[in-house]
Amino acid sequence: REITFLGIHDSVGNVFPPTELADELADLPVHVEVVDTDGISKCDAIVTRDHYDSFLELEWVHSIQAGVDRFPFDEFEANDVILTNSTGIHDRTVGETVAGYLLAFSRRLHTAIAAQQDRRWDRPAWDEAFTLPGKTACVLGTGTLGSGVADTLGSLGVHVTGVRRSGDPVPGFEEVFATEDRHTAVADADFVIITLPLTDDTNHLADAEFFDAMRDDAYFVNVGRGSIVDEPALVDALESNSIEGAGLDVFETEPLPEESPLWEMDEVIITPHCAAFTVDYFRDVGGLVRENVDRLAAEEPFVNRVV
């Protein structure tokens, strides 16, 4: 494959200014330029957030997200287009966001911030606040995000268990369950955390039965993808107090519609799909793109290749 024109599609502007990445990669031995959708035809390869059908004419597409569920794998394969993703860079960012949700719930920071909006001096009831050491978190998905969450929560004294397809042990997780045993895995956890990719197997994996299996004082966290959760079942579980609360970064429909009952719930923290945001995001993506441009020149296989 020959790549002489690497486009930075302007849809990356959803996460960082496209020019920052173009400048970061300016010394590559290929032409790097920010392009809009009309400019796709000029490119051999492109770095993007969104998918466009015109990508099927290119040699290589790099997604700035780890989740590539928006890309049609079959069509990439049929058209011999390489697809790479950005897994491997979100461990610490998402780990700290999840730690932030847990610290907010345990130290009641979300209720303090809500009260502050109304200049209200409302203190939590004597038995509302708690500390994290000795609590347990069950993390579904033990990849980059899951390991980053385990590492960050582990340093706060939380006992971390994991769920993966095989159930085989993973460093950083005290115990690991197979996906088919997920209801057993979540049954004792104070926090249940989804870090999975969206696939046919994980679609609506967190359903009514899943929330029933959780303790009624447990918190649910989703930083994977919205459709891994049956959102009406989550709303029911929260409304009926069959779980305590939730920290949510991803939703079945994004932006989360104004009429969603989740907005109004006291024990729900909503972040707008920004769990992985960092001022260094373009540098981290740039590192992956640079690595693959080098590998192409050396005729070595790409890292993070999905198709």
Return the active site residues. Answer: 225, 254, 273
Binding to ligand NAD by residue 95, rule CB under 6 A? no
CA pair distance 299, 225, nearest whole angstrom: 34
Binding to ligand NAD by residue 7, rule CB under 6 A? no
Quick check: 111 and 117 in contact, CB under 8 A? no
Phi, psi of 25 (to 5 degrees): -105, 10
Q: Strand 245-248 to strand 219-222: parallel, antiparallel, or no bridges (unpaired)? A: parallel
Binding to ligand NAD by residue 196, rule CB under 6 A? yes
Give the one residue of 40, 94, 189, 268 binding ligand NAD; rule: CB under 6 A: 94
Binding to ligand NAD by residue 278, rule CB under 6 A? no
Binding to ligand NAD by residue 304, rule CB under 6 A? no
Interior angle at CA 78, CA 74 and CA 82, nearest 5: 80
Query: 23 vs 34, 53, 283, CA distance in Å?
Result: 10, 27, 10
Q: Which lies closer to ligand NAD via its Cβ, residue 122 or residue 181?
A: 181
Q: Which lies closer to ligand NAD via its Cβ, residue 40 or residue 285?
A: 285
Binding to ligand NAD by residue 276, rule CB under 6 A? yes
CA pair distance 184, 131, nearest whole angstrom: 25
Give the one residue of 195, 220, 237, 269 binding ligand NAD; rule: CB under 6 A: 195
Binding to ligand NAD by residue 51, rule CB under 6 A? no
Interacting residues with ligand NAD between 202 and 241 (CB under 6 A):
202, 223-225
**Helix residue ranges, H only, the chain:** 18-24, 73-78, 91-107, 109-117, 144-154, 182-186, 208-213, 231-239, 281-297
Beta bridge partners of 245: 219
Give the one residue of 18, 67, 95, 247 binding ligand NAD; rule: CB under 6 A: 67
Site for ligand NAD, rule CB under 6 A: 66-67, 87, 90, 94, 141-145, 163-165, 179, 195-199, 201-202, 223-225, 249-250, 273, 275-276
